[in-house]
Amino acid sequence: MKKKPKNDNLKRNSDNRYRLDSEEERIILYWREYGELPPEVRMASDIKSSNVSSKYKAINKKYKAAMATIDRLQDSVDLLKELKEFQDKKSIYQILGNKKNTSNSVAIALASDWHVEEWIDPDTVNYMNEYTLDIADTRIEKFFQKTLMISNLHRNITTVDTLVLALLGDFITGFIHEEYKENNQLTPLASIRWVSARIKSGIEFLLSHGKFKKIVIPCSYGNHGRTTKECRHGTAAQNSFEQHMYYSLQNMYENDDRVEFIINNSYHTYVNLFDKYLLRFHHGDSIRYRGGVGGITIPVNKAIAQWNKGKEAYLDLFGHYHTPMAGGAFISNGSLCGHNAFAIGIKADYYEPQQMFVMIEESRGKTATHPIFVSND
């Protein structure tokens, strides 16, 4: 152990501690003797350093908080400047309706599942619906009126010179089940004459007021208007009251170039719009659906996938299920008659009586679908 320094300048206190005439000299002598600062000096230095570090941390924390506040205030100032510049700008918008329409579109109205002679007693459907010949007559008139109304609505943004009026079957209920013989208001032949007259009136209305250069009418027979007890495949068209009606209507307009009927004996009827959108029309009864969580979408898409293997269509349009729906590759039509006891029995969804309307634009394809509501407004 090193000996304590002996120096004339060092003197002992009463507590046996060294004392220098000056504090600086004592520290220097202690450093020379032991190679380190006196304990009390080192302690004081550590305390001082600790205090400085604590003060630095506190100051740094306040500095960061102050800078964060400054940044927030600067963002607020910038936002206020932008809002002021936005508010100072004058409107430069123009009314597009004043410009000439440059796009071409085709309007499509789907007519199916009218079941005109079927009587729906409101007592059998908890008064959710009622259907008689008079009500059917009113709803048919509204169908044609609103078809024109929606077409004119789209004429504000596109040129609509052609209407596709798709007649997709089940305009009558027929006698395919014994119950209908008891409940229907007309026989099948009388029903066909009744509905044929109203379809002709609708075509005349559209020709007179619609300003259409062309009305194309693809026709599909349904499963209700058949003369046979069971559905047929190869001879279904030849045993259809509705197929007979289509040919009769076609004969009425054989000299009118504005009206074109498309009738064939196949289940599918095709119409090509703008030489790029192939539409496939059919009644819909060949799509097998017996309930399920996914609704009709799964069987419909499966059927379309199979049919597309032979002839690929841009869009399938059909009725039968009384289910108004716009799917990605299909349009399902509603019904004119509306909810009935049969729908309740098979647990079908409730839908207000309606048909469907579609717009096909030349450059974009399907641009809009609309329900055509036909019940009392």
**Domain, as residue range, for 124:** 105-373
The whole-number pLDDT of residue 98 equals 53
Residue 234 lies in a domain: yes
Q: Is residue 180 part of a domain?
A: yes
358 and 317 in contact (C-beta within 8 Å)? yes
- Whether residue 70 lies inside any domain: the answer is no
Asked whether residue 216 is assigned to any structural domain, the reply reads yes
Residue 6 lies in a domain: no
CATH number of the domain at 153, please.
Answer: 3.60.21
Q: Mind listing the pLDDT tens digit for each residue in 256-269? A: 999 999 999 999 99
Q: What is the DSSP letter of 283?
A: -
- Measured in Å, how far apart are the chain's first and last C-alpha atoms? 113
DSSP 170-214: -SS-TTSSHHHHHH-SS-HHHHHHHHHHHHHHHHHHHHHHS--SE
Instruction: Determine the Cα–Cα distance for residues 167 and 210; give it in Å rounded to an integer.
Output: 18
Report the pLDDT averaged over residues 143-170: 97
Residue 78 belongs to some domain of the structure: no
What global pTM score does this model have?
A: 0.75
Cβ contact 337:318 at 8 Å: no
The two beta strands, 214-218 and 159-167, are parallel
Residue 330 within any structural domain of the chain: yes
Classify residue 37 as exposed, middle or buried by CB count within 10 Å of its CB (0-12, 13-18, 19+): middle
Counted domains in the chain: 1
Q: How many CA atoms lie within 13 A of 122 on its CB side?
A: 6
**pLDDT tens digits for 31-65?**
677 777 677 766 766 666 666 566 667 677 776 77
Inside any domain, residue 88: no
pLDDT tens digits, 180-229: 999 999 999 999 999 999 999 999 999 999 999 999 999 999 999 999 98
